[in-house]
Chains A and B, each alone.
Chain A
Amino acid sequence: MKLTRQGRKRVFTVANGVILTVVALLMALPLVWMALTSLKADPDIFSATPLAAPESLTLEHYEVLFSKFHFGQASINSVLIAAATTLISVLLGGLAAYGFARYPWRGAGIAIAFLMVARMVTPASLVVPLYAIMRTLGLLNSVTSVVVGVTALNLPFVVWILRPFFESVPVEVEEAGELDGLTPLKVFFRIVLPLAKPGIMTAVLYSFLAGWTDLLFPMTFVTAPDAMPLTSALLQMQTGYKIYWGEVMAGGIYLTVPALIICFALQKHLVKGLRAGF
């Protein structure tokens, strides 16, 4: 039997859907397993048959996170780091990007090229000078040191994302604002920022993620438990002879869920940011 052109197309589409579904499931698998393991009781995790259905589900690993691994304080630190990074990056990055977009100056080309270079620096190599600087300033073991590190790394990216958005704001609108007697700074905050909102949202999303997920700076700068964010608290859990799989998986889920919620809520901006990279 020969299929019609329409029929062939339909078969192709269905096959497509099946392949794509399999890929999506494969991608979700490690996370699903992590979630499942975090809810299993220890005998079910450390068992010879990990694929067997667990006898019961429990939240005890999540409780241990708070009672033994400082996750309460770490949550506060993570929120602080993410919030501060976002605020500083978007504010400074926004002003810088606006400057680049509106006030061309000699050397702007070099500055932009430098932004490009900054994105190619290995974060690990920034740790070297920053560690020495933080030591001298006595800022090791503080949330501030992490914020400074992450922000330094994140700022060039924010400027990079925001510049095209500001360029797309029509100059006439701003001129109208200036005619009404607004200062340039007021024009920026009252007129330009609201118009460039999609770009700002993208910058906020990526800055938040940068602060929330960063491991490099806290693991280097912070050794005191009370200044640790979630990422390095999670890393601490695997030292020693025994890996506390249940607790580690619970911690992983705990760290992941806020990032997932924000990414899905701002999905549109996430994808936009990916493409704004170049």
Chain B
Amino acid sequence: MAYPVGYLLYLAFHTYRPLSSSEMKPAGLQNFAWLITDESTNRSLAVTLKFTVASVTIEMVVGTVCAVLLAQFMLAVKGRLGRIYSRVLGSAYILPFAVPAIAGAFAWKMVLDAQFGPLNAMLDRHTPWLVDYALAAVVVIDAWKMTPFVIFVVLAAVLSIEPTQYEAAELDGAGAWRRFTHITLPSILPVVTITAAFRAVDAFTKVFDTVFATTGGGPGSDTRMLPLMIWRTAITNLDFGHAAAQAIEALLISLVFGVALLINQRRGRS
């Protein structure tokens, strides 16, 4: 792991285009100078950030709500049948998470297809969703796949709250809403925050299969996320120096974020 990362750093300071010459030339900071001024890289960065904010927001909101509802449901249902059903529900949410990204991407591509897709048939129209609403579609697909992750993490947090806290509050006459805002929310907030941070880093760095298989980064560069951009620069254009510089930019951004996260976590603990 350290070797590839080191080699990546090395490449970033060299010009290496096996297509035109097999020679590797030192390039100093040229690649980084190019990086800052390159319009398509900057645009890609903006798209990736937009995607990250949108999908993580949806995942956190939907995931947290579902987790709280699921916890209430699990604790409130009575009888064997009810209990079995709440288990089935809990397992059902694993489904999107367990599906390989490429298979999920194709499933959605079919659902959203302009000519033969069920969504258009239902709405009685022929919208090419992956073209007209490309970024939104990619966000929805990612939210579909990763919301279960949030549900399970937050569910565990909700279930670990002491039931006696609720009983005491109920005796004091606190209504359901007050119990939610005064007990549930503050208890799960640390978990929710850190989950959001992890999801953000993941969404930023690991969005690849879905985009590649559905929109391919298009139309134009509307959904050309950074990982895809790096891959294209390196493998399609065989321009390793520039690609390495882009990769390091991406790493630095997630690193800044990650370090902020760590410091925050430390502070929360002490």
Q: Is the CB of A234 within 8 A of B103?
A: yes
Q: Which of A18-26, A55-63, A64-72, A179-187 lies on the face that meets chain B?
A: A18-26
The chain B residue with its CB closest to the CB of A24 is B92
The answer to whether A259 touches B110 (Cβ under 8 A) is: no
B68's nearest neighbour on chain A, judged by CB, is: A16
Which residues of A (44-102) have their CB < 8 Å from a CB of B?
Answer: 45-47, 49-51
Q: Are B102 and A131 in contact (CB under 8 A)?
A: no
Given A128-B243, A132-B240, residue A274 in contact with residue B231 (CB < 8 A): no
Residues A27 and B230 in contact, CB atoms below 8 Å apart: no
Taking a contact as CB atoms closer than 8 A, the residue among B7, B99, B117, B118 that contacts A31 in the complex is: B99
Stretch from B53-61, B130-138, B198-206 at the A interface: B198-206
Interface status of B95 (Cβ within 8 A of chain A)? yes
Residue interface mask A233-245, B partner, CB < 8 A = 1? 0110010000001
Chain A residues with CB below 8 A from B18, complex form = 135
Does chain B have a CB within 8 A of A255? yes
Enumerate chain B residues within 8 angstroms of A235, measured Cβ to Cβ: 102, 212-213
B194 touches A152 (CB 8 A): no
Residue of A at shortest CB range from B72? A16
Give the CA-CA distance A252 to B103 in the complex, in Å.
5
DSSP majority for the A interface? helix
Q: Which residues of B contact A215 (CB under 8 A)?
A: 100-102, 208-209, 212
Task: Determine if A263 and B100 form an interchain contact, defined as CB atoms under 8 angstroms apart.
Answer: no
A4 CB, min distance to chain B CBs, angstroms: 14
Q: Is A23 a contact partner of B240 (Cβ separation < 8 A)?
A: no
A16 touches B118 (CB 8 A): no
Contact of A125 with B227 at beta-carbon distance under 8 Å, contacts A131-B234, A264-B94 already known: yes
Q: Which of B35-43, B147-155, B181-189 participates in binding chain A?
A: B147-155
Q: When the two chains form the complex, which single residue of B1, B111, B243 contacts A152, counting CB atoms closer than 8 Å? A: B1
Greatest chain B CB density within 10 A among A9, A45, A129, A216 is at A129
**With a CB–CB cut-off of 8 A, which chain A residues contact B194?**
278
Provide the bound-state CA to CA distance between A256 and B208, in Å: 18
B11 and A231 contact, CB distance less than 8 A: no
Complex Cα spacing A1 to B26, Å: 82
Contacts of B254 in A (CB 8 A): 120-122
Residues of A within 8 A of B231 (CB): 124, 127, 216, 220
Report Cα–Cα, A263/B257, bound state, in Å. 31
A 98-146 contacts with B by CB, 8 A? 114, 116-133, 135
What residues of A have a CB within 8 angstroms of the CB of B110 in the complex?
A: 30, 33-34, 37, 245, 248-249
A8-42 vs B, CB cutoff 8 Å, 1 = contact: the mask equals 01001100110111011001111101100100000
Task: Given A120-B205, A270-B94, answer yes or no on A20-B5 (Cβ-Cβ < 8 Å).
Answer: no
Interface residues of B (CB under 8 A from A): 1-2, 4-5, 7-8, 11, 16, 18, 62, 66, 69-70, 72-73, 76-77, 85, 89, 91-104, 106-108, 110-111, 113, 115-118, 121-122, 144, 147-149, 152-153, 156, 176, 194, 198, 201, 205-206, 208-209, 212-213, 226-228, 230-231, 234-235, 240, 243-244, 246-248, 250-251, 254-255, 257-258, 262, 265
**5 closest A-B pairs by CB:** A125-B247, A263-B98, A124-B227, A213-B100, A252-B103
Given contacts A13-B73, A231-B100, 11 further A-B pairs with CB under 8 A are A17-B89, A20-B66, A27-B95, A31-B95, A31-B107, A33-B111, A119-B201, A122-B251, A126-B5, A133-B7, A245-B110
- Sampled A-B contacts (19; CB under 8 Å): A17-B77, A24-B93, A30-B144, A33-B111, A45-B116, A50-B116, A117-B251, A122-B226, A125-B243, A127-B231, A129-B4, A156-B1, A209-B98, A220-B231, A238-B106, A249-B106, A263-B94, A264-B98, A271-B156
